[in-house]
C-alpha cells in the first residue's frame, strides 16, 4: 500500500459496509521490467503511464495514471463508470499495475460511478472524493491536498460550480513530475464548454470564479482532460480554452446569462445516479457469504 | 506548400475534377509563437502536436499531427470522416495549423471519408491514399514512402489483409522524430482485435502476415493508434498487442479459423461508402459557378 504524504486515511462510513470481494480473473501481467515502455509521453519522462478511456453511453472519460518506474506500479483511476469497470480492471491487470485509488472529481448525475464496484472486485483499493461533496468514500480530499502514487502525485483544487463539491486533480508542480502538467477537470471545464450549473448546489457565479482562478491560471501548456466530451475531442490546453471556450471566455455576467438560458432537459439519470454516487455507486452491496 | 522529399506529386484523376471551394469561416488563430505548447508529448520533444479525434456514429478515430516548430505549422489529418470535417477544420484553424495532406489508411466501408470535402473547403490540401487501394487521390503512396510535413515524417508500410490496399503510417525512425514511435494502423490492427477480412480483397492469411511482419516487429514501446475502437480504448502498444491481442496472438491457422467464423452482418454502409471512398468521398462535386 502506497501511503500518501498529506492525505490522511480516514475510516469513512462506506468503508464499514460489508463487502463481497469478487476477484476478477487475472491473466499473467506483462513482464514488469518492460512496463516502462507504456507511457504515452514522448521524450525522457516515461515515469507516467497514462490512458484515457471512454464510456460511450454517457460520453464519460475515465483516466488511468500509474507510476511505472516504481516497483509496485501504483495506479489511480479517475472517474470510473460502473458499466466499464471490468474493462478497466482487466487493462490494469494486463499492464501489471496495482490500483491504489478509485477517485471521483464529483458526484456524477449522468452515470453511476465504478468506485464501489471496483472496491468489491479489488479489495484494498480506496475510494476518494472531496469532503465538500458530502458523499461517502474511504478518503476525503480538500483543496491543496496531494494524492501520492509512487513518486507521482496529483494536486487537489476545489473547483465548485457544476456541483458544490467538484474538484480538479492536477499532476504535480515539480521537476520530477510530468511536463506539461495535466488537469482532470471533471465537469468544471469541458472542451470549449462547461458543465451545467442548475443542480446539486451548482452556481454559474462560482463556476466562473473556479475556472478563472484555478484552471485558467495554470501554465498555458497544461493539458486539460475533462470528464465528458460530446463532440469527439480528447484533450485541450489552458491556452486553447482561454482563447476559444465558447462560454468561459465571456465576462462573468454574460456567462451567467448563458448558463441561465441553456434550457437543458432534466438529467434523465439524476434521480438514480446521484443517490448511488453519494455512496460510491453501491447502495446495497451483496451480503458476505 | 511543404514538399515531401520522397513523395512524388502526381496528377491523379480526382485532382482534375471541378471543385467548388467553400472556405470555412476563419477566426484569428492563436499567437503562432505560443503554439509550441500544444504538443501532448511529455519531456523535451514538443515538435509534434498530436490530437486524437473521435466520430461516435462509426467509432472512427481521426488523427491530427503537425510540426509546430516549423514556422508554417504544416499538418496532416489521417482518416477524417465526412460528418466531422467542420469540427476538424475549425480545430486546425484555431490551432493556427496549415493542413497539407488529408490521408486515408484505406478505402473505408463503414463511413464516408472527409478528404474530398476537406479539399473543397480548403483548396491546396492534397488527398493521399495507397496506390494499391485503386482509389482516386492527389498522391499515391507505396510501401517504404515517406510523407514529410515540416521536419517530421510518416513512413508508409503496406499492411494488406483487411483490404488489399491497407497501409499503416508510422512516425519516423530517427532521433529527430517523436519517441516512442506512433503507428496509425487503420483496420489492420484494432486494440485487442483486428478488422474483418471478408470484403474488399480481404485475406486473413495476408492480414496475419502484415501485422506480424510490419507492426509486431516495431519497437515494443511503439504506440498503436487504430482507425476504430468499439470499447473505449484510445491507444495500445506493440508490446501489449503481442501479449494480449485476442486474435493475432494465435498461430496463423487458428487466426484464420477465427476470422472465417466471425459471422458478422453485411456492413450496412458498404454499398454507399466504398464507391464514395474510391473517389475521396465526393462522387459528384458541385459544378463551378
Mean pLDDT of chain A: 86
Q: How far is A37 from chain B (nearest CA, A)?
A: 5
Selection from B156, B107, B100 nearest residue B124 by Cα: B100
Residue numbers in chain B where pLDDT is lower than 70: 1-45, 283-289
CB atoms B232 and A30 under 8 Å:
no
| A143-181 burial: b if 16+ Cβ within 10 Å, else e | bebebbbbebbbbbbbbbbbbbbbbbbbbbeeeebbbbb
Residue A56 lies in a domain: yes
* Nearest Cα to Cα of residue A212 among A181, A184, A177, A247: A247
Q: Tell which of A42, A51, A244 to mutate to test the B interface (max B CBs under 10 Å).
A: A42
User: How close does chain B come to A210, measured CA to CA in Å?
Assistant: 23
Q: pTM value?
A: 0.86
The residue range of the domain holding A162 is 35-263
Q: How far apart are the first and last CA of chain A?
A: 26
A158-193: pLDDT as tens digits: 999 999 999 999 999 999 999 999 999 999 999 999
Examine the pLDDT at A14 and tell me if it is beyond 70: no
Is the per-residue pLDDT at A239 higher than 90? yes
Query: CA angle, corner A234, sides to A201 and B107, nearest 5?
Result: 145
Position A278 in a domain: no
Q: What is the number of CB-based contacts under 8 A between chain A and chain B?
A: 118
Q: Are B138 and B94 in contact (CB under 8 A)?
A: no
* Domain annotation covers residue B144: yes
B277: in domain: no
Question: Cβ B84–A237 below 8 Å, yes or no?
Answer: no
In a domain, A7, yes or no: no
Residue A4 included in any domain = no
- pLDDT value for A6: 43
Which of A30, A87, A223 is facing B243, going by the closest CB pair?
A30
- Number of domains making up chain B: 1
The Cα of B217 is separated from the nearest Cα of chain A by a number of Å equal to 15
- Specify the pLDDT at position A98: 98
Minimum CA–CA partner of A30 in chain B: B243
Q: Does A175 touch chain B (CB under 8 A)?
A: no
| Of residues B178, B220, B239, nearest to A42 (C-beta) | B178
Could you tell me the sign of the dihedral formed by the alpha carbons of B135, B136, B142, B146, in that order?
A: negative
Please give the pLDDT value at position A281.
Answer: 85
The answer to whether residue B24 is domain-embedded is no
pLDDT tens-digit series, residues A25-64 = 334 444 333 333 334 443 335 799 999 999 999 999 999 9
Q: Kindly tell me if the per-residue pLDDT of A248 is higher than 80.
A: yes
ipTM of this model? 0.85
Q: Is the pLDDT of residue A140 over 80?
A: yes
Write out chain A residues lying below 8 Å of B39, CB-based.
42, 180, 221
* Residue that is written with C-alpha cell 466504398 in the block: B274
- Distance set, CA A40 to CA A240, B43, B75, B97, B178 (Å): 21, 11, 21, 23, 11
Task: Identify whether A177 is part of a domain.
Answer: yes
Which cell is A32 given?
A: 514488469
- pLDDT at B148 (0 to 100): 98
- Cα atoms in the Cβ-side hemisphere of radius 13 Å centred on A142: 4
pLDDT of residue B281: 85
- Contact B234/A52, CB-based, under 8 Å? yes
Q: B53 in contact with A at a CB cutoff of 8 Å?
A: yes
Q: List the one residue out of B183, B177, B158, B168 whose CA is nearest residue B236.
A: B183
Q: What CATH code is carried by the domain that includes residue A121?
A: 3.60.15.10
Position A283 scores a pLDDT of 60
Q: How confident is the model at residue A244 (pLDDT cuts 50, 70, 90)?
A: very high
- Rounded-to-integer distance, Cα A14 and Cα A78, Å: 18
Average pLDDT, chain B: 86
Higher pLDDT, A36 or A114: A114
Amino acid at each position: 500500500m502506497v501511503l500518501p504524504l498529506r492525505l490522511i486515511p480516514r475510516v469513512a462510513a462506506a468503508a464499514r459496509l460489508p463487502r463481497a470481494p469478487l476477484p476478477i480473473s487475472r491473466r499473467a501481467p506483462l513482464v514488469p521490467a518492460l512496463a516502462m515502455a507504456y507511457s504515452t509521453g514522448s521524450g525522457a519522462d516515461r515515469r507516467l503511464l497514462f490512458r484515457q478511456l471512454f464510456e460511450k453511453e454517457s460520453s464519460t472519460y475515465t483516466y488511468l495514471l500509474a507510476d511505472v518506474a516504481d516497483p509496485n506500479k501504483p495506479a489511480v483511476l479517475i472517474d470510473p463508470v460502473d458499466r466499464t469497470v471490468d474493462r478497466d480492471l482487466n487493462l490494469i491487470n494486463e499492464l501489471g499495475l496495482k490500483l491504489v485509488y478509485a477517485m471521483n472529481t464529483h458526484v456524477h448525475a449522468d452515470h453511476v460511478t465504478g468506485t464501489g464496484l471496483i472496491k468489491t472486485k479489488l479489495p484494498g483499493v480506496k475510494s476518494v472524493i472531496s469532503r465538500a461533496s458530502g458523499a461517502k468514500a474511504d478518503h476525503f480530499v480538500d483543496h491543496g491536498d496531494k494524492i501520492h502514487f509512487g513518486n507521482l502525485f496529483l494536486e487537489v483544487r476545489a473547483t465548485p460550480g457544476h456541483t458544490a463539491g467538484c474538484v480538479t486533480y492536477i499532476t504535480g508542480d515539480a521537476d520530477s513530475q510530468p511536463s506539461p502538467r495535466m488537469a482532470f477537470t471533471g465537469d468544471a471545464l469541458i472542451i470549449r464548454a462547461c458543465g451545467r450549473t442548475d443542480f446539486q448546489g451548482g452556481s454559474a457565479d462560482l463556476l466562473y470564479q473556479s475556472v478563472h482562478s484555478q484552471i485558467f491560471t495554470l501554465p498555458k501548456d497544461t493539458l486539460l482532460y475533462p470528464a465528458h466530451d460530446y463532440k469527439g475531442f480528447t484533450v485541450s490546453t489552458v491556452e486553447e480554452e482561454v482563447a476559444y471556450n465558447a462560454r468561459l471566455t465571456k465576462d462573468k455576467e454574460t456567462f451567467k446569462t448563458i448558463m441561465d438560458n441553456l434550457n437543458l432537459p432534466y438529467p434523465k439519470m439524476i434521480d438514480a445516479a446521484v443517490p448511488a454516487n453519494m455512496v460510491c455507486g453501491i447502495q446495497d452491496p451483496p451480503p458476505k457469504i
